[in-house]
Structure 1
Amino acid sequence: MNKTLLILILIFSVISCNKNEKSKELTKQAMVVFTDYNLDNKTRIDSSLTLLNLAIELDKNNFKAYENKYGLLSQKKDIDGMFSCINKMVELRPNQPYWKLTKGFVYDLKKDSVNAFKLYTESVNQYKNLLKTDSSDFNLTLEFAGALKLVNENKSADSVLKQMQLDYKSEHQMQILDYYIKNDTLTRKEVIENWKNYTIE
């Protein structure tokens, strides 16, 4: 199906909704298009981005649209687009340090290690404060361990992971921890190189 026709059909399908509902619907439709493997990669990504941009025009605070857009721009290796997107995501979710970590990664891609390290450090401190009030959050603690590695606090990260192995006993959590411990040995430089070399099939 022609890319333009596909987008027009999807737009008309949400005409009866209000702006926020339209924005959410376009965000969902963008991901439907992206997972349509009958289309070639370029069409899937570009059509999805067109729909996400329309979703953002309708609702400038649609975090999910920015999050999905960031992922697609990452696949296109559009560092400037990623940077613009992650700036808005950090603005919308200032209390979630994960997005500052992600912004730090984009600074690393831009070869600005000073600002990258500053954001990584800021994230570590924010994780510490969050975990003071909720130390039982598995995902938050795992993110914290990853953040510690980014600021070269490897011993502290290993200590957090060992404690998590004692604290979290569900089979699913143990599998995640086991995988994370075995595979999270890449340096920042290696992570960047992996990103540069990754392409979708």
Structure 2
Amino acid sequence: MQVTLDAVGHRFAEGPWLFRGLSQTLLPARVYALTGPSGSGKSTLLSLLAGWAQPTQGRIRHDGVDRVGWVFQNPHGVPGRTARDHVALPLLARGSAPASADLDAASLLDRFGLGGVADQPFRSLSGGEAQRLMLARGVAAGPSLFLVDEPTAQLDLATGKEVNVALGQIATEGTIVVVATHDSRTRDACTDHIDLHDYQDGRP
């Protein structure tokens, strides 16, 4: 399984290029930090990797990737639904029995430091808790390619470190993880680094 970017570039209409000449092979068990200044195209590249849009230049090939997960920067959940149910539902959708889904959901919540709020409704969670819940829900869906946008933006240092460790664990279980981030600690916790600033003139 891999995702291959072959001389990828993108711009909107006749506007300036966000990036050009990006070639990279993304592999399982790796966590790729995607960095660059605001407006450099980090979220745009995530959408290209997800297949939601096509690059203006070059191509992206997905080999053996059967499911893509994306966790957005701003968490969105069902206000009255518990944290546990947010995570259990994707497991049920994948065919898990209710009892098994409940146990696996509890394990995922613990992984992201949410065991203590498992039975709390989404509306009562803090911003950081809601962000971590979206990560747990995304993992529950079993993605081959996991795209994460600014996962530690709303977290304190200790919790951000826990999330970085959890993302690394997810990768070692056979997932390709790509993290768009401004956080130097998240970048340093990743195994690989793609800086879009290096591709703004098409000559990496």
Fold shared by both chains (TM-score > 0.5): no
TM-score, structure 1 length as denominator?
0.29
Give the structure-2-normalised TM-score.
Answer: 0.29
Q: Which entry has the higher C-alpha Rg, 1 or 2?
A: 1
Greater helix share, structure number: 1
Higher relative contact order (CA 8 A, sep 6+): 2
